[in-house]
Structure 1
Amino acid sequence: MKRAGPEDPVRHQSSIMEMLDISPSGAGLYPQMVQRMLSAAEVIAMPNDIQMILARPKNEIIVHFPVLMDDGEHRMYTGYRIQHNDALGPFKGGMRFAPLMSQSDLGGLAMLMMLKCALLRLPFGGAAGGVVCDPRVLSRDELMGVVRRYASSIAHHIGPDYDIPGPDVGADSQVMAWFADTAAQITPDRNRQGMRAIVTGKPIEIGGANGRDIATGTGFIHMLRDILPDFNKKLHGLRFSVCGFGKMGSQVARILTAEGAVMVGVLDNQGGILSDAGIEPEAVAERMRSNGNLSGLAGTKAVNEEMFFREPVDLLLLAAGEQIMSHQRAEWVGASIVAEIAHAPWTADSDDILFQRGIEVLPSVLCNAGAVVGSFLEWTQNRTFISWTTAQFDKEIEQAMVLATRRMKLARMRFECDWRTAAYAAALEHLGRVYELRGVFP
C-alpha cells in the first residue's frame, strides 16, 4: 500500500495522533477510523492542519433524561449526538437505539459518514447518535417515550439546515415518525411544516420517499454492477454468502437473488447454514421468524463459524455490525471478494490480513452508501415539496453510486492502494479542496 514518505509535506499518522492526544490502541471505533483516515490523508499529501481538523469531531453532545416506564417508575437514559464535520453542508447521520453503544463508536461512525458524503459529493457533513437502550425489552409506549425524550433533549442541536438524523440500528420508520413529530410539536407554528425535513427514513405518509426503505440494497447493486467486470465476474450466477441476516443483510440478499445471484450460505449469532443448490432469502426470513434461528432449514446443512467463512464463494457480505471481522475470521475467509454492508465490520488486523491474502475488500463507505443518497433525496423532497417516483428515485441512486464507484476506481489506479484507502482518498481530496477554497477561520 502506498504511504507518504519523509519528503512529503505531511507528518505520519502517529505524530498527528500524538498531537491530538488520540491513542492508537484506544477503545471503540473512533481511534481506528482516525488511523485509517490519516493513512489515506498521507497518500494524497493532505496538509497537517486539515488532517487535524478532519480527525476531531466539531461537537459531542451527551444528554441524560428520564422516561416513565409501564410500571409507573422512571428510568434514566443516556443519549448522544456526535457532529463530526459540516464543511460540505448540514450534519447527516444515523441514530441508533441499542444496548451496546459507546461515544467512541459513534465518533467513528460520524467520521465515516463525513467521508461517505464527500465520496458521493452530497452536500452533507457527518454525524451519528442514539440512545443506550434495548428496544427488544421495551413496550411500544416505553420505546416511544425514549424516542420522544431523546428528540426533545437534542432538538436545539439539530434542524433541517443544521443536522438531519436518519435511521440506524433499532430505528425503523415508526421511530423516525415519533422523532419528527416531537421536533414539530416543540417548534413554533409558523415553522412547523418545515420540520418534516428534520429526519429521513420516515413513513411515506408523513414525508418519506418511495424506495428509501430499500436504498441500501439498490445502491449496493448499482455499485456491484459497475465494479464486478474489474474482477471478471458477472452478477447473474454469482455465488454469495451473508454474515448477518438482519435488516440490511436480508435486504441485499433479496435484491441479489432477484438479479440472478445465488445465496449459498448464511451465518447468524447461533450458527450457520450452507447449500450448494442455493438458499431462498424468504425461506431464511420465515425460519428466523418462526424458529428464532437458522437450524433445520430444509435443503441446508448446519455449519460452524469456521466452515461458513471457509466456503469458497465469489462474494461474502458482512452485515452483522461493527468490527466483527476478527484476525481469525480473516484467516478463514474463502471468498474472493468481501463486501462490507454493515458500517464498519473491519478491524485493523483483518484489513491487513485480507489485503496480504489478495482478497478484494469493498468498503462500507461505498457499499451501503445508497441509504444516505436516499436520505438526500427524501430531504430534498421535503424541502421542495416535490415527490419522487420510485423509478426517479432509483435512477438518482444509480447515478450517484456509479459516479462514486468510478471515483474510487480512479483513486485506486492513481495511488496504487487498496479499495478502502482509495475511497477515503477520493473523499479527502474533495474535502481538502473545499478547505483550500474556503480557508480556515479566522
Structure 2
Amino acid sequence: MMITKLEEKKQSMYDTVLNQFEKTADLIGLNPNIKKILSLTNNEIIVHFPVKMDNGKVEIFTGYRVQHNNALGPYKGGLRYHPTVDVDAAKALAMWMTWKTSLAGLPYGGAKGGIQIDPRNYSLGELERITRRFTYALGENIGPEHDIPAPDVNTNAQTMAWIADTYMSTKSPSERSQNQHVVTGKPVGSGGLEGRDRATGFGVYHTIKLLHRSRGETLEGKTFIVQGFGNVGYWASKFLVEDGAILLAVQDAHATLYNAEGISVPHLLEHSSPRKGSIKGFEGAKEIDPDEFFGLECDILIPAALGNQITEENAFKIKATVVAEGANGPTNPEGEEVLLSRGITVIPDILCNSGGVIGSYFEWLQNRNGELWQMDEVLEKLEKKLTQVFKNVEGAVKEKNTDWRTAAYIIAISRIELAYNQRGIFP
C-alpha cells in the first residue's frame, strides 16, 4: 500500500543507504578500513532546548545534527523541520550528502539535521525563537569552515537568515562579517545567491533534459507527474513546462490532483502558497484517490517529497519510463529492483537533485570571496556543472554496463577512497 500521508520510515531509510553503500563497496573492492570509516558517522549531535511560546508556556524541543564524513571538506547539508526527524533519519540523509557532494566534485563532506516538529503548528514568531535557540544550542558544532547548514524540508531562506544572524551575534564585532557563510540558502539581501531558491528544481529539470537528449529526444510533449509541490516540485515543474512538457498530476500529503489536459503550474502555486503548501481544493484539476497516483500513464515520475515512497509494494504500478528522484531516498532497494527489471530508468537522488548543493557551493564562494553573481551567471554556472556531472555518470553507466545509481555511487565513493589513500589515516 502506498504511503498516502507521505510519511517516511526512518529506520528503513537508513537501511536503504547502507544497502546502497555496501553494494557499491563490494563492487569496487573498497579498502576494508575505509569501508569501516564510511559505514559510520563521525558525530551525532542531539540537543534539547527550551523555547517560550506565544501563550507564555515553555516547550522543550529536540534538535539533531549528524555529521557523516568530512574527508573532502567541511560538512554540508540541510536542516529540516518535520515530525519524522530523528537521529536515524539524519544519519541516512547525512550519508547521502557525503555521496552527493563527492559526486558533484565539491570540496564538502556530508551532514544533515533538523528539529522534530510540524512547523504548521507554530506562529512565525515562535518559529523564529525555535530556530534561534536551536542555533545557539548547536554552538560551535556548526561554522563556515566546519559545518554549513542549508534549507531542507519545511525550512527556507528566512530560516537561514535567522540562523546566520544568531550565529554571527555570538562572535566579536570584528569576526561577524567573516561568518556570513555559516549557512547557505539565505535571502539575497542577506548574502544569499540569486537563483539559489530554484537551484534544486532546476537540477532535476536539467538532468531529465540531458537524459532525453542523450536518447535523441526533447521534452516537447512529454508528460510528467510530481509527488510533492514544495520548492523542488514547483521549480522542476515550472522549468519542464516551459520546455514543452505537460504536468498531469500532483500529490502532496493532503490531496492528489489530476488533469489529462495539463495542470497550470503558476495557478497551482498561487493556490497552494497561502495554504501553507497544501494543493487541496485546487479548481484546475480533479481530486483522485491517492493510491492511483503511481499508476497514472505518463513519461516521467518525479518523487519530490520524502523518503521511501517507491517500494516493492507499489513499484509495479509505475508506468513512467523515467523516475527522477527530486527527494532524497524516495526509492528503497527492493522498489528499485522492480523498476530496473521493468526497464525503467532511475536518475538517482545524488545526481538528480544535486543542483541545490551546487548552488549552495556557489553562495558559499560568493560570501567567502566578497563577490556578487547575477542570476544568468548563476544558472549558466549551474548548468555547466550539472552537465559535467551528468556526463561523468553517463560514462560510468556505459563503461560498467550498470544502472545510474550504481554508476553514481562508484564515482562518489571512489573519490573519497582516493582522498584517504593519498592522505593516509591519522594513527
Same fold (TM over 0.5): yes
Q: 1:237-293 CA deviation, whole Å, 9 max, x = no partner?
A: 221111222221112111111111111122223442333322111222234357854
2:283 to 278, 283, 297: 297
Give, in whole Å, the separation in 2 of the partners of 1:172 and 1:269: 19
Mark the CA change 1:294 to 1:77 in structure 2 (over 3 Å): closer, same or farther. Answer: closer
Structure-1 residue corresponding to 2:375: 390
Whether the 8 Å CA contact 2:204–2:324 is kept in 1: the answer is: no
Deviations 1:315-367 (A, max 9, x none): 01101211111323211101111111011111122111111111111111111
Match of residue 44 from structure 1:
28
Match of 2:342 in 1: 357
The answer on whether the counterparts of 2:201 and 2:355 sit within 8 Å (CA) in structure 1 is: yes
Distance 1:287 1:430 in 2: 44
**Residue matched to 2:187:** 203
- Provide the rounded CA distance (Å) in 2 between the counterparts of 1:304 and 1:142: 35
Which of the numbers 241, 244, 262 marks the counterpart of 2:225? 241
Which SS does the other structure have where 2:314 is aligned?
helix
What is the CA deviation profile of residues 172-193 of structure 1, one whole-angstrom value per residue up to 9, with x for unaligned ones?
A: 1111111100001111222111
1:422 aligns with 2:407: yes
Further displaced range: 414-423 or 108-117: 414-423
- Secondary structure, aligned partner of 2:18: helix
| Distance in 2 separating the partners of 1:307 and 1:134 | 27
Return the match for 1:181 from 158, 165, 182.
165
Deviations 1:222-242 (A, max 9, x none): 322222133443122221111
Q: Does 1:214 align with 2:198?
A: yes
Preserved CA contact (<8 Å) 2:201 2:231: no
Equivalent residue in structure 1 for 2:213, among 223, 226, 229: 229
Question: How many percent identity over aligned positions?
Answer: 36
- Aligned length in residues: 417
In 1, Cα distance between equivalents of 2:69 and 2:109: 5
1:15 matched residue in structure 2: none
Compared with structure 1, are the counterparts of its residues 306 and 408 closer, same or farther at alpha carbon in structure 2 (3 Å cutoff)? same
CA displacement at 1:429 relative to structure 2 = 1.3
In structure 1, the partner of 2:312 is: 327
Alignment match of 2:142 (pick from 154, 158, 179): 158
- Tell me which residue corresponds to 1:401: 386
**Structure 2 residue 393 is matched with structure 1 residue 438:** no
Moved more, 219-228 or 84-93: 219-228
Aligned residue among 171, 183, 195 for 2:155: 171
- Range 197-206 or range 268-277, more displaced: 268-277
Maintained 8 Å contact 2:202/2:235: no
Give the counterpart letter for 1:297 in structure 2. E
User: Equivalences for 1:250-289 in 2 at 5 Å?
Assistant: 250-289=234-273
- Match for residue 111 of structure 1 among 95, 99, 102: 95
Instruction: Indicate if the aligned counterparts of 1:29 and 1:107 stay in contact, CA closer than 8 A.
Output: no
Q: 1:120 aligns to what?
A: 104
**Counterpart code for 1:391:** D
Q: Which amino acid aligns with 1:83?
A: Q
One-letter identity of the residue aligned with 1:66: P
The question of whether the paired residues in 2 share the 8 Å contact of 1:221 and 1:256 is answered with yes
1:95 corresponds in structure 2 to 79
Distance of aligned partners of 1:146 and 1:28 in 2 relative to their CA distance in 1, 3 Å threshold: farther
**Does the CA-based 8 Å contact 1:312-1:336 persist in structure 2?**
no
For residue 131 of structure 2, give the secondary structure of its aligned residue in structure 1.
helix
Report the 3-state secondary structure (helix = DSSP H, G, I; strand = E; otherwise coil) of the residue aligned with 1:248: helix
Alpha-carbon separation, structure 1, partners of 2:182 and 2:228: 30
* Alpha-carbon separation, structure 1, partners of 2:102 and 2:273: 38
Unpaired segments of 5 or more residues in structure 1?
Answer: 1-24
- Alpha-carbon distance in 2 for matches of 1:296, 1:364: 29
2:396 aligned partner: 411
1: CA distance between counterparts of 2:411 and 2:114?
29
Question: Is 2:311–2:336's contact at 8 Å kept on the other side of the alignment?
Answer: no
Deviates more, 1:170-179 or 1:410-419: 410-419
SS at match of 1:82: strand
- Whichever residue aligns with residue 258 of structure 1, its letter is E
TM-score using structure 1 length: 0.91
Q: How far apart in 2 are the matches of 1:257 and 1:40?
A: 35
- The residue number in structure 2 matching 1:192 is 176
Amino acid in structure 2 at the alignment position of 1:67: V
- The 8 Å contact of residues 306 and 329 in structure 1, kept in 2 or not, is answered as no
What whole-Å deviation, never above 9, does each CA across 1:299-318 have from its counterpart, x for those lacking one?
x4433234332222110110
Partner Cα distance (1:278, 1:240) in 2: 10
Amino acid at match of 1:311: L
